[in-house]
Amino acid sequence: MSGDRFKLENIRAVVLDWAGTTIDYGCCAPPRVFREVFQSRGVEVSERQARGPMGMAKWEHIQAIANNPEVRELWIRKYGLPATKTDIDFLFKEFVPLQKEILSSYSQLIPGTVDVIDTLRSAGVAIGSTTGYTHEHMEVVLPLAAKQGYKPDTTICSDDVSYGRPRPWMHYEALKRLNVDPVWQTVKVDDTPVGIQAGQNAGAWTVAVCLSGNEIGLSYDAVRCLGNEDRAHRIAEVKLKFKQLGTDFIIDTVADLPPVMVAIDQKIANGELPSFFSRSKLGVS
């Protein structure tokens, strides 16, 4: 979409997630390491179990895996009692360096990211980002993304706030650093349910990414190998999940974002608010 023709009058900022949204097609790096750290303690965690809490801060993600009923039972069989805070601390301490070690292999931009960001910037939209990764992890990711042409105006990490997603604090912190308000003139783009919920809880418009994200969980090459029927079925399942959350818009990948931004811009011009502010959500009859 040409910058000369692309105009947004009512959107002040977009806040994008990282893995599964702008980098690491399929959000493949975190589950690999989550599984490794649990395996190191003699507890086998499936890909599905590792991906389930995706979008949370990593300590909380590990805790959520440990609290999964199936994993909890395996842990009790191994150690006689459920995982304790000390156990979670130990797993997180193992996770951080292992994740950092492999991140350079999982920091390829998702196709279309740079063009979309350039288009939005040309329309005067500030570019924020949030991530469940820590600053230590983003020390690896940020320079690699910049070399590929993607450099957000601000990046908020899980250790910048007291609580991560689905709390709204990372979105608010991004807007604070961007000096942008009101929140209903901002858009949250994420590939996880808790990321979408964080945007909703903040009062932003929400755009869910399905094909390149954690919910499908396949690399770019793996997605390209899917048959048309299989691909359509997977997308439909993920879209249903996000629709049930009340997500404002759903796209396949970040490359599909510009037309949705135009649609949101028009809704704001018409006096509409994000779906989270609907009468039913507010309990108004």
Which positions ≥6 away from 270 have C-beta within 8 Å? none
Catalytic residues: 17, 58
Task: Enter the tokens of residue 189.
Answer: 């783009």
- Specify which residues 189 forms β-bridges with: 16, 207
Task: Enter the tokens of residue 225.
Answer: 């190998």
* Sign of the four-CA dihedral 55, 60, 65, 69: negative
Strand runs labelled E in 87-146: 126-130
- Rg of the chain over CA atoms, in angstroms? 19
CA distances from 223 to 52, 194, 216, 235 (A): 20, 23, 9, 11
Map residue 157 onto helix, strand or coil.
coil
Cα distance between residue 92 and residue 64, in whole Å: 12
Cα distance between residue 153 and residue 177, in whole Å: 9
Count CB-CB contacts under 10 A for residue 269: 10
- Identify whether the C-beta of residue 51 lies closer than 8 Å to the C-beta of residue 43: no
Sheet holding 126-130, edge to edge: 154-156, 126-130, 13-16, 186-190, 205-209, 249-251
How far is C-alpha 79 from the geometric centre of its chain's CA atoms?
33
